[in-house]
Structure 1
């Protein structure tokens, strides 16, 4: 359009002003990235602010551990995370780098314990079942030391007692561990009140020290008069009242356990933590009074000691005086024979207080006192304790009929022995066997063979005779029997009631009867008229 064609109204309008666009305002598309960056910076700052120290824990294996995934927990609360897993320079251990939270600063104490929680089957039961789904994790037990460190040695086994548990620890000393293990229960009146926390060999290697933990409030029942004993397995008693079977629980039969109780139910002063007690083998031994000083003696047996082992009882009329310490063998050059030395250890105080007091008042030596009892028949004898196991024990008793013996003056004191009745029976059986061995069984066997041969010939002759009788005599005997049968038949017919002979015989007897009557009449008449023999019978008028 040209300027000539512009209308006057349009010419009067003002011309538009041009303003430059503001370039400092961002576009709307940048708002979301900026917000995301701010959130990320905030999270990073929060992580840096909440990040605690980095520690390194060494384990034997990294089983179940995973960098960036495995957590570190205390009472099931996350206090850190595994960042890196590497091998040590000597490849003997696994180094686990853990990033702790800022709130877990106290877990850098020098006495802090770490261990890996996995499913485990132990004496205390099955633990770590939750890790089957969630995976293994590292558990912690906070320390109390003021010294800190960043390198720790992880525990391979979960500790039974942690520092936050309430109760007391005690030390038990025993000759051996038995069937006990870490986590084995401790019972008081058949109630579980604690468990075995640790065990170790003594420095001299002659015993075992166990550390047990008694939960609160049961620790107040452990006093200076308390006795501890093994409650593992079965306690079988057979006495006059019958058969008794005692056990604390089924768990002690399989896994072992301990039990404790006070003498006369009086625990006495409450025992302090880490007090040491003796651990007895059973309840009877735990409550047994102190035996006092022991006396060592030696016994010489000239018989088999099969079934006699160290630890076997030394018995005096049912009272156990001690036990067998050793069983050996030695050669006697004087008699050119072997004998079996048995060393025993007895406790004289088990014979009663009066015996001990009398021994203390006596001015005689130990050999003289023993010689006095030996002169009265004191002897040692091996006896069978069980017919099922064949185990032997040493019985000490008085045998007045035993021959006189004089003991030596050396140490240890020698106590004479006497064979038991079973050995005497065996000796008699051996003598009988010796006499039987002198019998000439071979000659008797040859004579018996000759006798049997003669009997065999006799039997053969008898067999021939029987055959001859059967062939020659038997037919004649059969014919004679037939003739006898015929005779008997004829006699039977003759003697039957309807036989003619029987009828004739009856008639004859009747005639004889009438003749006898007539004869009687004649004799009566002649007695009255004897003259009739001369004159004849007169006629009756």
Structure 2
């Protein structure tokens, strides 16, 4: 059992040498807290405050996945937004599958609300591309991770970094539009977007559709030019050089050297469009309105072409070759574009063991302006009436150099009467042989007629005739006749020489004398010559004598008795 201090005080141990007087007792007094403890308490409070403040100001930690970590280093690489440091890379690790790298970075607290599923990260490095040179400032400062914050979307801390920097950030004013085309062509990211040959944007990206049938191209049009895009706007591919050859001559159309090298897109809102796929409004799209998808036409001419909502499909069966007729070839009526060719097939009929070539065309009847009462020509009735009046289809050549064909519809009043037949779901328009095919048929008929001629008998008779002619030529009579003819020719030549040497001078002298005689005769019978004067006098006397004889005859006719009695008084 232990003893307490009070017990020891109350009962001191006995000692032979201890004094008889009692020892003094110590008094214990309990006081307040010492001031020495205030210093550690104050330090503890400051430490807690600093810890709480640090935790409160500490930004989010994110993980970014890149294909490579070129130029990135933990503790050195910065995260920047508009060249302002907003974070730092704390670690660079390799992913579990060894295919990518995971970059861990800490950002400032103010950026916690901007980390959403639409936020983008990329490494800013020096880059040289067809659209320009970027990132030259990193040659001295080193590569850094750029940030494009977006508030829309769900919060996120794990991101996949972009391999190429985006052309436009979300903070840049403008609009994005999606174009759909069968192929990408020469377009690429960074290709310019033009409006009336002024660059107003760029191609921001492209992707193949899920069904693989088309390509979706994303373009960005900066503000305020994005207000020029309306539901009736048409986009077309302005890449390369548009070279066309027509009856008007050679036409070359291009925008700029940059569009020739890296491609380009141009857009406009034509005033002649009859119908549009996105509505009839001419107003620009509102900032919050869904732009939908625009079609990317292959050329300016195709973009400016009129389109109509009502389309009709017909079949045409051709007997001859359709080489040169491609899908998309035009269908013309009186030289006006009325539609296009949709499909060309080769079919074999088991019943008659013949090949058939059906051509499916699509026409737009609204391209034909109706005069008068149009209620009688609704729908296919107009085509049926045209066929009854002689509408026929025919293949014609659009170019002698390329051999391309097109379907020509025209009215032939002399054609045989016909009607629009039905083949499945399509009406069938009668056709005529192509011009070359018709010429070939005529040539075949001529050859057929030539084959019917008795060429063997004609050849035998011709051979006999040639043999007879040969016998006649080689006969002695013909030779003797030729000798005699040669002698006659020699005599004629001698006679001609005699005429030339003897008779010709005498004949010339005779002609000179004759001319002199004629001259003298002319002088003799001239108006002022003596002979002429005497002859005129003689003619006057003869005239006077004739008048006297006529008077005497008249008198005797009245007085015949004057022959016996004489003239009375």
Q: Same fold (TM over 0.5)?
A: yes
Q: Could you tell me whether the CA contact under 8 Å between 1:312 and 1:394 is conserved in 2?
A: yes
Q: Could you tell me whether the CA contact under 8 Å between 2:115 and 2:151 is conserved in 1?
A: no
State yes or no: 1:311 paired with 2:353.
no
Q: Distance in 1 between matches of 2:155 and 2:420?
A: 71
Q: Could you tell me whether the CA contact under 8 Å between 1:123 and 1:181 is conserved in 2?
A: no
- What is the deviation of 1:419? 1.3
State yes or no: 1:276 paired with 2:289.
no
Aligned to 1:522: none
Q: Could you tell me whether the CA contact under 8 Å between 1:173 and 1:277 is conserved in 2?
A: yes
The 1:52/1:370 distance shift into structure 2, 3 A limit, reads closer
Aligned to 1:535: none
State yes or no: 1:394 paired with 2:401.
no
- What is the deviation of 1:133? 6.1
Aligned to 2:391: 378
CA-to-aligned-CA distance 1:502-525 (integer Å, 9 cap, x gap): xxxxxxxxxxxxxxxxxxxxxxxx
CA-to-aligned-CA distance 1:105-131 (integer Å, 9 cap, x gap): 565455321012344455633433555
Q: Could you tell me whether the CA contact under 8 Å between 1:118 and 1:136 is conserved in 2?
A: yes
Aligned to 2:163: 156
For structure 2, which runs of at least 5 residues remain unmatched after alignment? 1-50, 274-280, 475-569
The 1:331/1:60 distance shift into structure 2, 3 A limit, reads same
- What is the deviation of 1:218? 1.7
State yes or no: 1:338 paired with 2:355.
yes
The 1:223/1:362 distance shift into structure 2, 3 A limit, reads closer
- What is the deviation of 1:183? 2.3
Matches within 5 A, 1:172-183: 172-183=179-190
Aligned to 1:521: none
> Which moves more between the two structures, 56-65 or 414-423?
56-65
- What is the deviation of 1:313? 0.7
Aligned to 2:542: none
- What is the deviation of 1:390? 1.6
The 1:406/1:263 distance shift into structure 2, 3 A limit, reads closer
State yes or no: 1:144 paired with 2:151.
yes
The 1:372/1:223 distance shift into structure 2, 3 A limit, reads closer
Q: Could you tell me whether the CA contact under 8 Å between 1:300 and 1:339 is conserved in 2?
A: yes
CA-to-aligned-CA distance 1:302-334 (integer Å, 9 cap, x gap): 111111111111111221111111111112345
The 1:242/1:57 distance shift into structure 2, 3 A limit, reads same
Q: Distance in 2 between matches of 1:332 and 1:385?
A: 30
The 1:395/1:58 distance shift into structure 2, 3 A limit, reads same
The 1:211/1:272 distance shift into structure 2, 3 A limit, reads farther
Matches within 5 A, 1:166-315: 166-202=173-209, 206-238=213-245, 241-264=248-271, 268-273=282-287, 274-276=290-292, 278-281=294-297, 282-315=299-332
Number of equivalences: 397
- What is the deviation of 1:436? 8.2
Q: Distance in 1 between matches of 2:141 and 2:272?
A: 48
Q: Distance in 1 between matches of 2:156 and 2:339?
A: 56
**Helix, strand or coil: the match of 2:421?**
coil
Q: Distance in 1 between matches of 2:357 and 2:84?
A: 69
- What is the deviation of 1:376? 2.5
- What is the deviation of 1:409? 4.0
The 1:324/1:122 distance shift into structure 2, 3 A limit, reads farther
Q: Could you tell me whether the CA contact under 8 Å between 2:272 and 2:306 is conserved in 1?
A: no
> Which moves more between the two structures, 342-351 or 398-407?
398-407
- What is the deviation of 1:165? 0.5
Q: Could you tell me whether the CA contact under 8 Å between 2:233 and 2:270 is conserved in 1?
A: yes
Q: Could you tell me whether the CA contact under 8 Å between 1:123 and 1:182 is conserved in 2?
A: no
Q: Could you tell me whether the CA contact under 8 Å between 1:119 and 1:131 is conserved in 2?
A: yes
Q: Could you tell me whether the CA contact under 8 Å between 1:279 and 1:286 is conserved in 2?
A: no
**Helix, strand or coil: the match of 2:301?**
helix
Q: Could you tell me whether the CA contact under 8 Å between 1:65 and 1:136 is conserved in 2?
A: yes
State yes or no: 1:413 paired with 2:427.
yes
Q: Distance in 2 between matches of 1:425 and 1:119?
A: 68
Aligned to 1:517: none
Aligned to 2:551: none
**Helix, strand or coil: the match of 1:423?**
helix
CA-to-aligned-CA distance 1:47-104 (integer Å, 9 cap, x gap): x899744321111232343444433332233333333222222333211122435665
CA-to-aligned-CA distance 1:153-195 (integer Å, 9 cap, x gap): 2122322220120122234344544433332211111110112
Q: Distance in 2 between matches of 1:211 and 1:272?
A: 18
Q: Distance in 1 between matches of 2:153 and 2:242?
A: 49
CA RMSD, Structure 1 to Structure 2 (Å): 3.7
The 1:406/1:53 distance shift into structure 2, 3 A limit, reads closer
The 1:299/1:122 distance shift into structure 2, 3 A limit, reads farther
Q: Could you tell me whether the CA contact under 8 Å between 2:118 and 2:153 is conserved in 1?
A: no
The 1:429/1:84 distance shift into structure 2, 3 A limit, reads farther
TM-score (norm 1): 0.64
Q: Could you tell me whether the CA contact under 8 Å between 1:51 and 1:101 is conserved in 2?
A: yes
